[in-house]
Chains A and B, each alone.
Chain A
Amino acid sequence: MLEPVSQPECGLVAEVVSCDVFAGRSRKEIEELEVYAGNRRRKLGDFFSVSGSAADSPEETRIVIAGSVERTKWIGRGMSAGEIVVEGSTGMYTGAWMKGGRIVVKGSVDSFAGMMMDGGELVVQGDAGDYLGCAYRGEWRGMRGGSIVVHGNAGSEAGHCLSGGRVTVKGRAESFAGVRMHSGLLVLGSAERRVGAQMTGGSIVVLAETELLPSFELIERVTSPEIEGVRFEGVFEVYAGDLAERNAKGRVYVKVE
């Protein structure tokens, strides 16, 4: 259990908050873990009061952050197993490069949550910032596996360069969701304009009417389709695109009834 006692004025780089790192470490060792507040090297114990004990393996390790840590970044970076539960909200890059295990954030996550994810599960009960489940800056090969579920809304460019796995936003996603997506499944409760811009593959499901780019072509109307292994109830218009891209094989399903 990590209880936040203070947060630095600038961001706290805390990629050590991961079941892989905590496993097999004593409370004292966990307090000594290195974090960066801006460019200053500090200890995890300077910002969190640590209690409880870690298990021997990451699989059996469960980390609870008892509060909001909006300035703490990189929680669960590259984590391969175990569970992190955050009682409040987190900063940027939550669950980036995650390979396995589960992160549950009861509040909201800042931008770049689930960036380059390869496996595991990220559940956000509040909202997500921009670039949910995105590729790293400049990278064209994005998230490859695992699942992200956001119960609230998401910012711009959710599922940017998505190359596998599944991203679900139950609320509304801002512009450019699924931009440059290559494969995988992106499910949106509703979406602002320009869904799937430059997509070359994969499927986007929008559960409400939305305005698509002119480079998407209506190809059929289907009822209760199965998409990437998931069944969706209702009537959907199926669009192919983004036809502005070469050999584009993407599909956008828009729920109409």
Chain B
Amino acid sequence: MSSLTPKELYNKLSQEAISHDEAHQEKTRVMVGTATCGVAAGALKIKADFIREVEAKNLQDEVDIVEVGCIGHCYAEPLAIIAKPGHPAICYGHLDDGLVHRLVEDFLAGDDPSYEYAMAALERNDVFPTFEDFPRGVYEQKLILEQCGFIDARDINSYIARDGYSALAMALEEKPGWILDEVKASNLRGRGGAGFPAGRKWEACIRSKGEEIYVICNADEGDPGAFMDRSILESDPHLVIEGMILCAFAVGARKGYLYIRAEYPRAVTHVQEAIDQARVKGLLGESILGTDFSFDLEIFQGSGAFVCGEATALVNSMEGKMGMPESRPPRLAQKGYRGKPTVLNNVKTFAYVPLIIRKGAKWFKEIGTPENPGTAVFSLVGKVVNTGLVEVPMGTTLRQLIYEVGDGLPNGKEFKAVQIGGPSGGCLPETALDVPIDFDSLQDAGAIMGSGGLVVMDEDDCMVSVARYFLEFTQHESCGKCTFCRLGTKHMLDILTGITKGEGDDETLNLLEELAEDVRDGSLCNLGRTAPNPVLTTLKYFRDEYKAHILEGRCPAKVCRDLLLYYIEPPKCSKLCNVCVGSCPTEAIFTRDDGLKEIDQEKCVKCDNCLKACPDEYNAVVKLSPPVLPSEKERKAK
């Protein structure tokens, strides 16, 4: 053991880190957001553009160009933050090579921050508003995303310089029981979906009194459209690692794993680098910060099946077995990885722990609601202006999240539903918009917190198709072990597919609802138990839409192809333009003797091309549902 206390050792690390960081700050820093969202929008090219332009101006000795993670404003990617001494750090969005050229010339070489292109400043100043000054700033509160996108994810000094690992140093001078007490007092609930209190889980594990205990971080994040865990691991990996070390100290574990899906190569790289750097600093491995506490971490790359995110399936898959869920009990806290007591928590759950230890359970409990303290992290997608990652206190209403933080729906469209909780979440209507976001209220409304995916839908979305779409995902991901999920979801999907074609009657809806309830109540694991949620909620809130399909052969949102046809309205057609004719891949559109265009319904494959092609000044192509031409309608009327 070292003669220095953990705090003394930490203070040394901290001073090193701060001077390292300050040395950096004397230079101008260009921080390009290169989390997966940024890369998808072309961030790596933007980074290359910056390097090229900076070299062209011969500024490479004065300017550092670094990669940072996601700051949550994904709608404005690619983006970069420029921190030039003498100016507030400023974020620029929607970058392209022209803009990069200007920023380098005017701001880096010259001294004009080009405010006309700036999104916001990152720190309070007298010249330019910050993100907190955005209307959404009132509703947002960043805890675990606070540093994402602002620190260098690939340099541990960047984390330590901002108090990183100070919670660990503090905790190591206390008894392990102190951490547990704080986490219990904070009422931190698991962010992997179910909201189980983390402290109780840890305590159960301690009670199992195992010789060997494991700590596992669940970073499988398989929900389509969810990317919060990935962002945190890519952008602030040490926060999660510190949380895991604190947990290990509390429960007495010596070994831990991060189960990261193999499709997240950047997260894997960043976390591996972080583990290596933490070891070098004596924060991981033998005798952490000079104490007799040892703990090490390893990455396990998951193979991809969605169900492997389920706790027991995850452990099976780590043990080399088929990734399939098991009945519980025994719980993982009793018999987990290799039959040993195991704590399994989500990425976000671990990320809160250092903050709770640093600032205290009381601080945490003051955020959010008493039963649901802290924040909720969502990926806001779909028909909403500001897509991206958001973090708001628990208890924020769906309305505030969609209209204030998300800035409402684009193109003046009408709100129809919000699907919350990933593919097994529920669809809630307008009337549920004042439901506060927390584990219990969402569950009561028929949705779930789930993984925190939030999809906004407007009048152009068909709720039957939406339910079908999500069920298709879960049905496809069913491991097939248990009867209800394997066969029940298959029959539900077949029934839904039939409804999108107008097949069925009132009885069909009852059967679908009954079956959905039975799959929910009878399945072995939560995949099957939650898979019916989209179906049950749409049946509850949008039953009329189902009925329109089967009783009238009509899809109100005009989405279900079997229930619509394309039609060119004669009074609107200009006769003179031929755009639609050229756009049709099957040559279904012809010019009539009177010069008007018409669609040969036999040949039409409903590809939507002509509707898009018809110039805005005419908008002559329309979709009709039920698929009856006006001429037929007239005939029938007679």
A in complex with B: no
Residue numbers of B with Cβ under 8 A of A are none
